[in-house]
Structure 1
Amino acid sequence: MQRLAVSVLVFLLTLAAAPQGRAQTRIKDIVDVENVRENQLVGYGLVVGLAGTGDRIRNTPFTEESMQSMLERMGINIRGTEMRTQNVAAVSITATMPPFARSGSRVDVQVAALGDATSLQGGTLIASSLRALDGEIYAVAQGNVAVSGFRGQGAAASVSRGVTTSARIAGGAIIEREVPYALRSATSLKLALKNPDFATADRIAVAINRNFPGTAQVLDPATVEVAPAGAFKGGVIDLVTQVGELEIKVDQPARVVINEASGTVVMNSEVRITPVAIAQGGLTISVTETPQVSQPGPLSNGQTTVVPRTQVQVDDGNGAHLAMVNGASLQSLVSGLNTLGVSPRDLITILQAVKSAGALQAEIEVQ
């Protein structure tokens, strides 16, 4: 784990030391265009054909009601009949409809069990409608589900990998209704920065106006408005297409991202520190139990007993020492912390302490 963290930090240092020309980024990679977005779809359906791994009907009444409704639409009335099948599972269906999707095009769908089904392996999703938040049906999903995990179970043991109650259908939904866009008639469009920043927004506007004078203005740190000037021959869509290929240097605030669950620490090249002294160490107590069996002598009236044997070791961190971390760069910070030989978990604690001491000039984001 420690080697992994050091490797990641070295990789970041390599990127930071790269030539300035390679730090240029296309505008289209750091902005979203107004009204050009995805739409989330959701639905409910039944997965059939399971090998006894579906919902238990008595525990999931909504699965039973869904089966009855489906069969009634097919002209089969089973009201009042007690069903015992475990080959059916009620599932939620989600999909993402890309911008400008046309009727007849296909999108992937994700299905997940709603009841007490143990696996969707080998199942088939029956035709189900997918709706957006406006209540309208935009797609219809159906097909064989593909489960990435597996599960095997015997009388006394079981083995599983991944999640068997979630599955995917590649191209499983067909678009039935389009989302109208009126970009061709727009006189201007707004570019929304994915990571709002004053410097980056200003550089975007400068780069656009350098190539297309008088077409861009900064509205706020997150928005740049683009409108064709009189000298530009094409429409707003042509302008945005050409603007997207322009390259600028992206500015970013100094930030340290910490994931305490996995012990991951990631810093960007803007992280700066003031000189600070750090000592790393702690108290470790190790208790080892090695009980021994004491047997009585031959022909004696003694009893066999278990004699406890306990070994206690204490490490109070006497080897820890203060280390001076000088300089104002990520290289100085990493080199100083590596000198201490800290683990990723200790690195998280040290960075938070350095921030509290006012020596870390960066924002810490804990996930």
Structure 2
Amino acid sequence: MIRKLLLVLAAIAALMPVPAMAERVRDLGQFHSVRSNQLTGYGIVVGLDGSGDDNFAYLTQAMRGVSGRLGLQLPPGVNPALKNAAAVIITAELPAFAKPGQRIDVTVSTMGKAKSLRGGALIMTPLYGADGQVYAMAQGNLAVGGLGVSGQDGSKLTVNVPTVGRIADGATVEAAVASNFDFSEVLRWNLFQADFMTMTRVRDAINAAYPGMARIEDGVTLALAMPTGADTRAGLMAAIEMLDVSPAERAAKVVINSRTGTIVISSAVRLAPAAISHGSLVVRIDENPQIVQPAPFGNGQTAIQDDTTITARQEGSYVTGIGPGASLAEVVDALNALGASPADLVAILEGLKQAGSLTAELVII
């Protein structure tokens, strides 16, 4: 009896509509003043085992600058052997609210003909922001995951990428980026992807918890009227980020990777009534030349007589019908029933889009 009751309850639960999945506000967007900043710099990696650059002018100039900062002046016209050094570009990401003295990770990449950075050490290098100011200083030993070896006969073996390395906590923050999150009259919150329905639901969720706080500026931005002060405002921001919101259904899209043949179809894709025919015409031409010999003691000459056979057949010719409002599962089942390859799927989807039967945005990357 209990087992039958459980089966009935399970059947009723299966028939009930499934509610939309709620997401936190922090997963849908971020506050305008809370963002990271990109840093970059140009430096020198030394200590390489003969795998560095080979006497490049820009590397020589950089080495002169480094040695000059250390009090060593190279004589004019002297170019040091640079196989043990490499010119590199350093990139890093400065987190929001990073303070002087904190450490961040850096990525080091060669910009010349250096073969590997394994075993190298980065000399102290300033990292600049978009405004040209120095925000961090980088230095340290590189951790390189790649490996490159070569033989005397010219054979080479490369594993991963030996010309890119990483230094964990390799840079020290020297200056903080100013933020106005605590004293501006209006704090703005930006949606990751523009959507008016999702923006409306986020506004309603915030106003339900804090009446009159949020208003929509556009499809991406909410303006939040908050009291000033870092302590009060930080608490409100934390509470808002944890609010649950059911985002609008994503736009109907079909994304096609033309290089790999990968096709991704969103759940909102629908098809109008259509019929799809898929097949391949195979034409075969066989040449069977025949040698013709003249009769004995005749006046004729040996010759070649052409014999051509042409055949044509239609392979895998199918016609599949799709009903009105077909869902994603029905679209996939219909295309699989055709036995279509990725290239064929691209042609079929493009044809449905041109015919007006595919209600979706077709994105080819």
Moved segments of 4+, more than 4 Å: 283-287, 313-317
Q: In 2 relative to 1, CA 180–353 (structure 1 residues): closer, same or farther, beyond 3 Å?
A: same
Counterpart pick for 1:244 among 235, 241, 246: 241
Q: Verify: 1:320 aligned to 2:326, yes or no.
A: no
Return closer, same or farther for 1:117/1:193 CA change in 2, 3 Å cut-off.
Answer: same
Aligned equivalents of 2:57, 2:35: Cα separation in 1: 38
Equivalent in the alignment of 1:337: 335
Q: What amino acid does structure 1 have at the position aligned with 2:223?
A: E
Cα deviation, residue 258, structure 1: 1.6
Partner of 2:60: 64
2:129 corresponds to which of 132, 140, 146: 132
Residue in structure 2 matched with residue 359 of structure 1 by the alignment: 357
Amino acid at match of 2:357: A
TM-score (norm 1): 0.81
**What is residue 70 of structure 2 aligned with on the other side?**
74
Residue by residue over 1:237-293, the C-alpha shift from the partner in whole angstroms, topping out at 9 and shown as x without a partner, is 322221111111112211122211222211221111112211223357899xxxxxx
Which runs of 5 or more residues in structure 1 are unaligned? 1-16, 288-312
- Give 1:18 deviation, angstroms: 11
Counterpart in 2 of 1:23? 21
Alignment of 1:90 onto 2:90: no
Matched with 2:12 is none
Identity over the aligned pairs, expressed in percent?
38
Aligned equivalents of 1:226, 1:18: Cα separation in 2: 37
Give, in whole Å, the separation in 2 of the partners of 1:18 and 1:104: 56
Count, aligned residues = 321
SS in 1 for 2:175: coil
Distance 2:314 2:146 in 1: 44
Q: Secondary structure at the match of 2:208?
A: helix
- SS across alignment from 1:71: helix
Instruction: Give the number of the structure whose alpha-carbon radius of gyration is greater.
Output: 2
CA RMSD after TM alignment:
2.5
Runs of 5+ consecutive residues of structure 2 not aligned to the other structure:
1-14, 286-309
Selected match of 1:113 from 106, 110, 114: 110
Give the drift of 1:63.
0.3
Match of 2:275 in 1: 277
1:315: how far off? 8.5
Per the alignment, residue 251 of structure 2 pairs with: 253
The secondary structure found in structure 1 opposite 2:344 is helix
Q: CA deviation at 1:206?
A: 1.1
Shift of 1:100: 0.6
Which residue of structure 1 lines up, in the alignment, with residue 196 of structure 2? 198
- Structure 1 Cα separation of the partners of residues 265 and 54 of structure 2: 49
Q: Measure the CA separation in 2 of the matches of 1:93 and 1:78.
A: 25
For the 8 Å contact 1:189–1:236, the answer to whether it is kept is: no
Task: Select the residue among 157, 160, 166 that pairs with 1:159.
Answer: 157
133-142 or 72-81, larger mean C-alpha shift: 72-81
